[in-house]
Amino acid sequence: MLQINKATKVVGNGPHEKKVLLNKVDLSLQPGEFVTVVGGNGAGKSTLFNSISGTLPLTSGQITIDDQDVTNLSEEKRARYLARVFQDPKMGTAPRMTVAENLLLAQKRGQKRNLHLRQLQSQRDAFYALCQQVGNGLENHLDTPTGNLSGGQRQALSLLMATIQTPKLLLLDEHTAALDPKTSKQLMQITADRVAEQQLTCLMITHRMDDALKYGNRLILLRKGEIVKDLSADEKAALSLPELLLFFEDDL
């Protein structure tokens, strides 16, 4: 579902210096794989996600999603293949639009849009049932501007919007980092349920090491723009939290 070949990103770091953010990264994801991504600050996690989503063009290399070469496609054109939930709850929703309006907009992700009646009322029952699944009262706020929601409700809405049309690839960019522990735990369970129900192919960056061990069926560790560990489901299951933390000692 995702194939990355020799992905390299080099940027200027002063007048006579170059900095390598990604160094010939190779990565393959099979359909239905849920891969957690960990690494220290500056390891290349965000650069990897920005390169996949199209917000940051590669210096060299190739990215293929579902056998389609997207290396040179714009972020807008890649939206037909992937969806992304960001760390900041404000980035995934339109604050002045209501919950129902945001969900209606998300239904058209990656599609051409023409002028026509939006037919919002006919969707309300489906949106109510969808929001009811997350268990945080979001269904009672269909007519509430998204900017008035709590951070947890807004992130849950962002997740629903990202998965309302099953994407080829789901990118979760530290999507629980800005939430309190209780809300984070709740959202992670919702995430795991939706990934399993829709059999999504998913990459998730997290700084919560317990989540990295608990969720997903594969774990990769980035360091200085390179994948230095790629653990299978069995290897990850056998790994303890202290052992995982030892991987970060070389970053110090």
Domain that holds residue 202: 2-94+167-251
Judged against a pLDDT cut of 70, whether residue 25 lies above it is answered with yes
Task: Give 27-36 pLDDT, tens digit per residue.
Answer: 999 999 999 9
Does residue 113 lie in a domain region? no
Task: Enumerate residues 6+ apart whose C-beta is below 8 A from 116.
Answer: none
Give the model's pLDDT for residue 111: 63
Give the model's pLDDT for residue 134: 83
Query: Where does the pLDDT of residue 26 fall: very low under 50, low under 70, confident under 90, or very high at 90 and above?
Result: very high
**Predicted TM-score of the model (pTM):** 0.90
**Number of domains composing the chain:** 1
Does residue 203 lie in a domain region? yes
Listed residue (77, 174, 182) closest to 136, CA to CA: 182
Does residue 151 lie in a domain region? no
Does residue 48 lie in a domain region? yes
Does residue 161 lie in a domain region? no
Task: Give 56-68 pLDDT, tens digit per residue.
Answer: 999 999 999 999 9
Does residue 144 lie in a domain region? no
Does residue 99 lie in a domain region? no
Listed residue (194, 176, 198) closest to 185, CA to CA: 176
Q: How far apart are CA 67 and CA 186, in angstroms?
A: 34
Q: What is the mean pLDDT of the chain?
A: 90
Q: How far apart are CA 117 and CA 87, in angstroms?
A: 33
Residue 23: helix, strand or coil by DSSP? Answer: strand
Residue 182: helix, strand or coil by DSSP? Answer: helix
Does residue 64 lie in a domain region? yes
Q: In what order do the strands lie in the sheet with 202-205?
A: 82-85, 169-173, 202-205, 34-39, 218-223, 226-231
Listed residue (2, 43, 6) closest to 24, CA to CA: 6
CATH of the domain at 236: 3.40.50.300
Judged against a pLDDT cut of 60, whether residue 155 lies above it is answered with yes
Alpha helices in the chain (DSSP H): 45-53, 75-78, 99-106, 124-132, 151-163, 181-198, 209-214, 233-237, 241-246
Pairing of strands 68-69, 60-65: antiparallel
Judged against a pLDDT cut of 60, whether residue 252 lies above it is answered with no
Q: In what order do the strands lie in the sheet with 18-29?
A: 18-29, 2-12, 60-65, 68-69
CB of 136 within 8 A of CB of 159? Answer: no
Residue 187: helix, strand or coil by DSSP? Answer: helix
- Sign of the torsion angle spanned by Cα atoms 29, 232, 163, 99: negative
DSSP assignments along 79-140, one per residue: TTTEEEE-SSTTSSS-TTSBHHHHHHHHTTTTS---S-----GGGHHHHHHHHHTTSSSGGG
Burial grade of 78 (CB within 10 A; 0-12, 13-18, 19 or more): buried
Kindly state the average pLDDT of the residues 113-119.
64
